[in-house]
Each structure stands twice: as C-alpha cells, then as structure tokens.
C-alpha cells in the first residue's frame, strides 16, 4: 500500500527548499561517487558567484569545476573528511568564470557521508580591503617614524641653541610630543600584530615573557625593577604576553613622578592558572582607564587615554581566556594583575 507523505515532512521539505534557493551564500548539494563530489543541485547564489548554470554543472565533478589544479590535494582531504562524516571549515581559493576568488568554505556531510552540502561565502573584497589597510598602516607608520626623526632632531638643535629657559622648555615639549607620536605608532603596530595572531595557545614560561618585556621597554633602565616569578607555573599564551607586560612596565615607569620609579613584577599560582602582577609607585590609574582595562566599560574610539598600551593589554589577555584586575595601593600606585590559565599537564 502506498504510504502518504507526512504533512510535517512536506512542510520541512518546503522550508528547506525555500532556504536553499534564497540564502545569499552559494550552496552545492553533492554526492560522493568513487570518492569524487558530483553535483546534484546548486542554488541561485552559486550561479551568481561561480558563473555556471545549473544545467551545466549537474552531474559534473565539483572539484573539476571550481578547484584550481594546484589545490587538488586540499580538496581531496576535504572529501575524505566528508566521507567520514566530518564537517569542513576553511578559507580557500576557488575558480569562477571571473577568475580565482577567495571564499569561506563550509562542508556539511549527511546520509552517512555519502552526500554533503558545500557552502561558499565570497571573501574576496573583504580580504582585499584587509590587505590594502595593512599596506596603508605600514606606510603610515613608516612616514610617521620619518617625520618623528625630523622633529626630534630639530628639537634637540633648538635646545642647544636656545637663549632662554622658555625656549628650552618649548623645544623639550616638542621633543617629548614627537616621542609620544613614535610610541603611538609602535603601539598601533603591536595591536595590529596581536589581533592578527593565531589564536592557538601554548604553554610559556613567565620568566621568559617578563625578560622579553623588560628588553622591549627602554624606560625600564631608569627604574628600580624587581622581578619575582621563579616559582610561577607556566601560562597558556598566544605568543604576545610579553607585549602586554611591556605595556604595563612602560605605563608604570612613564607616569611615575619619582626620579627612580620602583616597579615590581611577581607571579603566583592560582586555582588552575597563574596571576602576574605589576606594582608601581605612580599616581594610580584614572578611574575610567581602570574600568576600561578590567572590562567594566566597553572600548570606544574616544577612550584612548594616553595611548593604546592598556587597550593592548586587555585585548591580548581576553584573547587568551584571561582577565585583568586593577587595585589602588594604600601607599600609592597601582597593582595590575593579569590572570591566565595554565596547561592541564605541567
């Protein structure tokens, strides 16, 4: 006896067909035949992105249609994962009627890995813009360094040639402002590199990160710096912890009124992690900067404080699954603590 389709199944099929045809991402419904993905159906967005009409691709090898020859090994690995019931997710290059484009590819297997959906989102314009912005940033930083060198050179000459204390003070102000611009350029570079970094976390020694931070901050030479991190466990870091610590060291020394600022870096084991604390004898952080650093306030373009260093600390630490705490010391100064996770196995 012929079984009538269930009304709910008909409705689900209609919903899926509507989604398949109207979603803005290119979608291919394919079947693995002799380990080769054969196109069974495509949506209109696939036609728009790749330039092939449905009648021209149905029954054809998807890889032969859109995978560049030099990426055949890559697509073979994706097909193997699909056959084993595993999903795929990667940014790849694929061939279209307008040339090779960069797309976000997601593969979703079904029917025990015999069938699958390939979903493509065109990233070509976004990636081009990112690359152009990266080039622009490098050019701007290069030009900034060049102009800073000109300013500092002339300011030093003015100090030598000045006839009055007022002229000396004005020249020194120009010199300090130029160095501030140089520092902002360096911080912008560090922010860009930290945000672009691989998010994979690896165990690192705290002592090595502190030493790298100390070498990166020239101002530390005029401070009395004490370091006590020998007994600290390793921390999970994405490779830029030293930059976060360098920003804290620079901030601690730069804003101290003491002739010889006193700064202490210590680390201790916590429950499942490690706490790294930088203590200074400066005036303390303004309330708004403290709240931005700890995440109590969201960052806005106007909340730059005296630079990008504290932004960098927060972005790096939160990217590693950590947190930042800040406390005022009764005797003056601040204690800023970075909380990070430790690897499961020592």
Question: What digits encode the pLDDT tens for the residues 149-177?
Answer: 888 888 888 888 888 888 888 888 888 88
How many Å apart are CA 95 and CA 103, to the nearest integer? Answer: 10
Higher pLDDT, 342 or 190: 342
**How high is the pLDDT of residue 286?**
81
How many Å apart are CA 33 and CA 74, to the nearest integer? Answer: 18
- Is the CATH number of domain 200-346 3.30.465.10? no
**How high is the pLDDT of residue 2?**
54
Question: Per the structure block, which two tokens stand in for 61?
Answer: 């090898």
Query: Are 95 and 122 contacting, i.e. CB atoms less than 8 angstroms apart?
Result: no
How many Å apart are CA 318 and CA 303, to the nearest integer? Answer: 18
Question: Per the structure block, which two tokens stand in for 147?
Answer: 């102009």
**How high is the pLDDT of residue 5?**
56
Mean of pLDDT over the chain: 84
With H, G, I as helix, E, B as strand and everything else as coil, classify residue 122: strand
**How high is the pLDDT of residue 12?**
66
Distances (CA, A) of 210 to 139, 206, 319: 31, 6, 19
Question: What digits encode the pLDDT tens for the residues 245-302?
Answer: 988 998 888 888 888 989 999 999 998 799 999 999 888 888 878 887 777 766 555 5
Superfamily of domain 7-122, CATH level 4 = PAS domain (3.30.450.20)
Q: Is the pLDDT of residue 59 over 70?
A: yes
**How high is the pLDDT of residue 221?**
84
Which of the four pLDDT bands, split at 50, 70 and 90, describes residue 196?
Answer: low
271's enclosing H/E stretch is none
Q: Is the pLDDT of residue 115 over 90?
A: yes
**How high is the pLDDT of residue 145?**
82
Higher pLDDT, 269 or 346: 269
Dihedral pair phi/psi, residue 338, rounded to 5°: -100, 125
Mean pLDDT of 74-103: 92
């Amino acid at each position: 006896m012929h079984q009538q389709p269930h009304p709910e199944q008909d409705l689900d099929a209609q919903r899926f067909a509507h989604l398949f045809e109207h979603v803005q991402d290119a979608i291919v419904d394919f079947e693995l035949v002799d380990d080769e993905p054969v196109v069974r159906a495509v949506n209109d967005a696939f036609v728009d992105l790749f330039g092939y009409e449905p009648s021209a691709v149905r029954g054809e090898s998807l890889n032969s249609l859109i995978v560049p020859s030099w990426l055949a090994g890559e697509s073979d690995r994706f097909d193997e994962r699909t056959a084993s019931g595993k999903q795929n997710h990667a940014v790849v290059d694929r061939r279209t009627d307008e040339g090779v484009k960069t797309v976000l590819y997601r593969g979703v297997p079904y029917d025990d890995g015999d069938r699958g959906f390939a979903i493509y989102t065109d990233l070509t314009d976004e990636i081009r813009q990112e690359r152009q912005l990266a080039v622009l940033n490098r050019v701007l930083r290069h030009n900034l360094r060049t102009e800073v060198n000109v300013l500092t050179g002339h300011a030093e000459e003015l100090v030598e040639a000045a006839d009055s204390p007022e002229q000396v003070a004005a020249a020194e102000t120009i010199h300090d402002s130029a160095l501030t611009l140089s520092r902002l350029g360096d911080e912008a570079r560090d922010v860009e590199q930290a945000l672009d970094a691989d998010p994979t976390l690896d165990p690192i020694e705290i002592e090595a990160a502190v030493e790298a931070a100390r070498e990166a901050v020239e101002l530390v030479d005029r401070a009395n710096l004490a370091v006590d991190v020998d007994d600290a466990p390793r921390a999970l870091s994405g490779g830029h912890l030293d930059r976060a610590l360098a920003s804290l060291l620079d901030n601690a020394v730069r804003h101290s009124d003491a002739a010889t600022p006193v700064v202490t870096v210590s680390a201790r084991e916590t429950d499942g992690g490690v706490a790294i604390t930088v203590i200074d004898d400066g005036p303390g952080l303004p309330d708004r900067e403290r709240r931005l650093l700890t995440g109590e306030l969201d960052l806005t373009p106007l909340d730059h404080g005296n630079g990008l260093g504290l932004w960098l600390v927060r972005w790096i630490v939160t990217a590693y699954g950590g947190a930042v705490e800040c406390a005022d010391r009764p005797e003056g100064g601040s204690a800023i603590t970075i909380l990070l996770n430790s690897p499961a196995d020592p």
